[in-house]
Structure 1
Amino acid sequence: MKILIAAVFAGLAFNAAGAQEVGDGKAEYMNSCAVCHGPEGKGDGPLADELLKRPADLTHLSKQNGGEFPYWRVFAVIDGRYVVPEHGERDMPVWGRQFLPGDAKKYGPNAGEIVTRERIHELAGYVQTLQR
């Protein structure tokens, strides 16, 4: 019983610490995405002209989806680990694979996966705020 209680408190401590460290979608976007998609998400980042395919303008995703933000599609594109190979090559980095090694090293393999998913949720949520 004492072990179970300690595990619950350890989980609560992780959640509080993880939320403070991971809970900023804007900072994550500026660090990981703005270099290609631009600070306002218009596809005009400093590296945009260097890429073979111009990055997507992220400000019109809701408009292109009948006025509804395609949250889970955005999440899946950012994560990228579950893309069907038959759909072709990705131009964008697979952020799920990019984030996971560091998160797993810092938090352990199971908690690292949770933190990686949370980072991607934070990014998708921030992209939602960029809609015009």
Structure 2
Amino acid sequence: MGRLGFAAMVALASLGASASAQDAMSIGQFEFANSCVQCHGPAGKGDGPLVSFMTGSMPDITQLQKNNGGIFPVARVFNSIDGSAKVGAHGTSEMPAWGQRYRADAAEWLSYQGAPGEAEALAQLRVLALVEYVSSLQEQ
């Protein structure tokens, strides 16, 4: 199964299967609600409840594609979320890098499941799911 591994696929499937069909949300939508809404707001407009406690303004992430010549900047958004690059508005220390938290969570969960070697792949899948969800918020 390559780099993703069976354990990572099972982990992702179990994340999505935990919600009832009526209340189902994508993994990316779950990650956004859990990690991003507090600052970026439910629609990604930069109006989350924690914004008043921050210095500067929060970026409107619904404009990423428009501000990049109509092409959604997948790698830049991935690297911002993962913490592997400091770029643009997400280059400040106020933007937490979720990649480290995702890797720690994955390592703990997969160790419990008996598949500790797949933590990086599972963390990357979570970041990719979040990137995909942020892409769905883009205004034309």
- Which category describes the TM-score, using the shorter chain as reference length? 0.7 to 0.9
Deviations 1:73-124 (A, max 9, x none): 00000000x226xxx6532001111221121011144311111110000000
The corresponding residue for 1:128 is: 135
Q: Give, as a single letter, the amino acid of the residue that structure 1 aligns with 2:12.
A: A
C-alpha deviation, 1:66, in angstroms: 0.4
Q: Which range is displaced more, 102-111 or 28-37?
A: 102-111
**Residue correspondence of structure 1 range 94-105 to structure 2 within 5 A:** 94-105=97-108
C-alpha distance in structure 1 between counterparts of 2:9 and 2:72, whole Å: 28
Q: Percent identity?
A: 39
Larger radius of gyration: 1
SS at match of 2:78: helix
SS at match of 2:42: coil
Q: Give, as a single letter, the amino acid of the residue that structure 1 aligns with 2:73.
A: P
Higher helix share: 1
Listed as ranges, the gaps of 5+ residues in structure 2 are 17-25
The corresponding residue for 1:32 is: 35
C-alpha distance in structure 2 between counterparts of 1:54 and 1:112, whole Å: 34
> Structure 1 stretches (4+) deviating beyond 4 angstroms?
none
C-alpha distance in structure 2 between counterparts of 1:102 and 1:19, whole Å: 13
SS at match of 1:131: coil
2:66 aligned with 1:63:
yes
TM-score, length-normalised on structure 1?
Answer: 0.80
Report which structure shows greater RCO (CA 8 Å, sep ≥6).
Answer: 2
C-alpha distance in structure 1 between counterparts of 2:9 and 2:103, whole Å: 19
Listed as ranges, the gaps of 5+ residues in structure 1 are 1-6
**Residue correspondence of structure 1 range 1-132 to structure 2 within 5 A:** 11-12=5-6, 14-20=7-13, 21=15, 24-80=27-83, 82-83=84-85, 89-108=92-111, 109-132=116-139
Deviations 1:35-82 (A, max 9, x none): 0000000000000111113221110001000001001100000000x2
TM-score, length-normalised on structure 2?
Answer: 0.76
Q: Check conservation: 1:37, 1:57, Cα contact below 8 A.
A: yes
Aligned pairs, how many?
119
The 1:110–1:55 alpha-carbon spacing in structure 2 relative to 1, beyond 3 Å, is: farther
CA RMSD of aligned residues (A): 2.2
